[in-house]
Structures are given as C-alpha cells and as structure tokens.
Copies of this chain bind each other. A is one copy, B any other.
C-alpha cells in the first residue's frame, strides 16, 4: 500500500478525531512530516505557556501523520511508547512539529519529533515515539 498525501492525512485526522483540534499537515513524505497547530487560549496554562498535554498530543499526531505518509491508511497503528523532554516554555502562539523517521520496520515505526513555537527556531520539546504497525498491510 502506498503512502497518503499531506492533504489526505489532514482530512483523515479530522474525520478520525472529530473532538480534537486538527493540526495542519504542511508536509508528509514518508521520511519527514511537518505539522502546524493553531494557537487557542484553551491550550494555555498559568504563566502564559502552552500546556504539556497539548505538546504531547501534537508530537503523537506528527508521528502518526509520518506513519500514514509512509505506509498508507492504517487506522490500527497505535502508539506504544512516547518519551518526551520538555526543554523550554513554548510561547502563546502556533506550534510547529517536525517528525523524522528513525526506523520503519515490519512491526514497529520509530521517529523523533521536535516542537517549536512558530516564531522561534529553538526546540521547546522533543519526543521519540514508537508506533506498533498492524501485522498484515
């Protein structure tokens, strides 16, 4: 099965997770993916920073988008491990996530994701994410 396009992934995420704010999928080519999450005041925490769960959800979604761009529509792919390091307080603005594939194996996909506030170049959080892939695909 061939990979999904950025546009198809964005539509798929919106349909699968209707309750959740869908990030824009700016790019997704099987090797890297770049997403952007619009800022909303509901993401804020005391101190004017974006919440940790917002960051974790975006990192997880960025890796999912990367997997979808690599192997096509796999609704049964599930996160098995997510390791997140919180490095700097993100600004109250849009977040950019850049995911890159470390390994696309038969049963596991491992990638790393860097997050930053859109107006900055410094990484505010870094994640390594593992997805278990369905056996037949």
Q: What is the interface of chain A, defined by CB distance below 8 A to chain B?
A: 16-17, 19-20, 42, 44-46, 51-53, 56-57, 60, 75, 78-89, 102-103, 105, 107-108, 110, 112, 123, 126, 128, 130, 132
Complex Cα spacing A87 to B103, Å = 6
11 contacts between A and B (CB under 8 A): A17-B51, A19-B44, A46-B75, A52-B60, A53-B60, A56-B57, A78-B89, A80-B86, A81-B85, A83-B83, A85-B128
B110-A16 in contact (CB<8A): no
Q: What are the residues of chain B within 8 A of A102 when measuring CB–CB?
A: 85, 87, 123, 126
Complex Cα spacing A103 to B45, Å = 22
Q: What are the residues of chain B within 8 A of A108 when measuring CB–CB?
A: 80, 132
Which residue of chain B has the shortest Cβ distance to A122 in the bound complex?
B103
Copies of this chain present: 4
Q: What are the residues of chain B within 8 A of A20 when measuring CB–CB?
A: 51
B81-A103 in contact (CB<8A): no
The smallest C-beta distance from A44 to any residue of chain B, in angstroms, reads: 7
Complex Cα spacing A83 to B86, Å = 11
Question: With A19-B42, A42-B19, A52-B57 given, is the CB distance from A128 to B88 under 8 Å?
Answer: no
B45-A53 in contact (CB<8A): no
